[in-house]
């Protein structure tokens, strides 16, 4: 374990005015890097409601009250866009979604310590508190993890809790950067950050969201209906700002795709759909989407996603198990998180196909695992046990 951090953190300052925020961001734009976190609520909305933004530089820690009356976050947007300041997050996806929605662009440049920890071998999606403990020997107080961050006033304990998410993060970042440099894995990190640097990661195409529902059918007409109504749901959820599952649940969409109700009465008979919804503006919009889907030409209907149709061959369970053991052994040898190297879908496709186009057979992943996986399938590699560990044996 790394020695405990000796950093003395300044007391956090609560920022509640635009003028104070402008002064803070002006100072932070002179820093080589800053650490950032957010607190938000989204249980009842499609778009996250930003409540707090925590920022830390070398000499100050601030907690910005995004809900303070008259608060203008424009200078924060300018800070996040400043290419001369590295923005350091931990598990950045939800934070980035918020900032992209607020400012219509992603913070640049980015560094995600959770991704870096996976590249450096600290496990799959390691939590912030566990990473702080592993690298710094410090403990994070998580007693306010489930606070209602939209409630005011904020208590001193809440402010201190929120600030801890960016104070220790500075030392975590420095330790991880040093380790990645020592081990020559900067290129690995850059490749992984490409996903977070793309706005498309946070703005999924409504026309492809039906695939996430994993429909168990090869009926292209039903799949076309599902595609249309899932796309409608996504756009409607954004319009009325409610979670997509609260608007219409997946199970209800699947039933609608199968039955294709053509009027209010038919829609209201679908499980999970109330008559009030069916008669309202959203229900009318859904019925229009159904009607459009019915008229779609056969040639433009979607095909089952690869590996999802009822007639799709299944990989050998034994081969899948062997590939998973090989993945674990390769990742243990290279000290990198298995989840970062190959997904379950990658393993299935490796078992079924000779040379699938998957991330596990590209770039550094191929070096760590992909080449060995192909050799195992070709009978050129076997697995053995030596001194309690898996050994790769070339045939």
Q: What is the pLDDT of residues 240-267, one digit of tens each?
A: 999 999 999 999 999 999 999 999 999 9
Q: Over pLDDT 70: what percentage of the chain? A: 96
Residue 39, φ and ψ in degrees, nearest 5 = -125, 135
Q: What is the pLDDT of residues 179-221, one digit of tens each?
A: 999 999 999 999 889 999 999 999 999 999 999 998 989 999 9
Q: What is the pLDDT of residues 280-326, one digit of tens each?
A: 999 999 999 999 999 999 999 999 976 555 566 889 999 999 999 99
Is the whole model's pTM more than 0.85, yes or no? Answer: yes
**pLDDT at 376 (0 to 100):** 96
Q: What is the pLDDT of residues 20-67, one digit of tens each?
A: 999 999 999 999 999 999 999 999 999 999 999 999 999 999 999 999
Question: What is the average pLDDT across 58-83?
Answer: 98
**pLDDT at 171 (0 to 100):** 97
- Please give the Cα distance from 174 to 178 (Å, whole number): 6
Per the model's pLDDT, the better-predicted residue between 386 and 52 turns out to be 52
**pLDDT at 119 (0 to 100):** 95
Centre a 10 Å sphere on the Cβ of residue 392 and count the other Cβ atoms it contains.
15
Question: What is the average pLDDT across 325-333?
Answer: 95
Q: Label the pairing between strands 86-89 and 110-112.
A: parallel
Domains in the chain: ranges and CATH: 13-201 (3.30.420.10), 206-295 (1.10.150.80), 317-394 (1.10.150.80)
**pLDDT at 309 (0 to 100):** 54
E-only strand ranges, 16-156: 33-41, 49-56, 61-65, 86-89, 110-112
Contact 112, 90 (CB under 8 A): yes
Alpha carbon 57 to its chain's center? 25
DSSP conformation class of 68: S
**pLDDT at 6 (0 to 100):** 42
Tokens of 365: 């992943």
User: How does residue 5 score in pLDDT terms, banded at 50, 70 and 90?
Assistant: very low
In 127-280, where does DSSP find H-type helix? 128-136, 156-182, 186-196, 220-240, 244-247, 250-259, 264-268, 275-279
Mean pLDDT, rounded, of the chain: 94
């Amino acid at each position: 374990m790394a020695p405990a951090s000796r950093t003395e953190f300044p007391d956090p300052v609560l920022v509640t005015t635009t003028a104070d925020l402008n002064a803070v961001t002006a100072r932070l734009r002179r820093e080589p890097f800053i650490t950032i976190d957010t607190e938000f609520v989204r249980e009842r909305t499609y778009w996250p409601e930003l409540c707090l933004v925590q920022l830390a530089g070398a000499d100050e820690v601030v907690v910005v009250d995004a809900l303070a009356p008259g608060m203008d976050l424009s200078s924060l947007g300018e800070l996040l866009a400043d290419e001369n300041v590295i923005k350091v997050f931990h598990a950045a996806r939800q934070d980035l979604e918020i900032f992209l929605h607020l400012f219509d662009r992603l913070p640049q440049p980015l560094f995600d310590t959770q991704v870096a920890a996976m590249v450096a071998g600290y496990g799959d999606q390691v939590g912030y508190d566990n990473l702080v403990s592993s690298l710094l020997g410090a403990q994070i107080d998580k007693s306010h993890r489930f606070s209602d961050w939209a409630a005011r006033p904020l208590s001193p304990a809440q402010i201190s809790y929120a600030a801890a998410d960016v104070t220790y993060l500075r030392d975590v970042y420095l330790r991880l950067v040093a380790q990645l440099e020592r081990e020559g894995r900067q290129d690995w990190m850059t490749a992984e950050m490409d996903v977070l640097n793309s706005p498309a990661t946070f703005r999924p195409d409504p026309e492809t969201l039906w695939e996430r529902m994993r429909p168990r059918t090869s009926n292209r007409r039903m799949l076309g209906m599902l595609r249309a109504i899932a796309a409608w749901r996504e756009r409607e959820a954004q319009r009325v700002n409610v979670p997509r599952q609260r608007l219409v649940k997946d199970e209800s969409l699947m039933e609608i795709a199968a039955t294709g109700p053509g009027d209010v009465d038919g829609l209201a008979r679908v499980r999970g759909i109330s008559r009030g919804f069916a008669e309202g503006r959203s229900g009318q919009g859904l019925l229009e989407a159904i009607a459009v889907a019915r008229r779609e030409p056969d040639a433009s209907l979607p095909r089952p996603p690869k590996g999802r149709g009822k007639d799709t061959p299944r990989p050998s369970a034994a081969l899948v198990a062997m590939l998973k053991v090989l993945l674990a052994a390769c990742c243990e040898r290279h000290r990198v998180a298995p989840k970062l190297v190959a997904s379950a879908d990658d393993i299935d496709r490796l078992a079924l196909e000779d040379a699938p186009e998957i991330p596990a057979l590209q770039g550094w992943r191929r070096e760590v695992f992909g080449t060995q996986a192909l050799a195992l399938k070709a009978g050129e590699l076997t697995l053995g046990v030596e001194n309690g560990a898996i050994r790769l044996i070339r045939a």
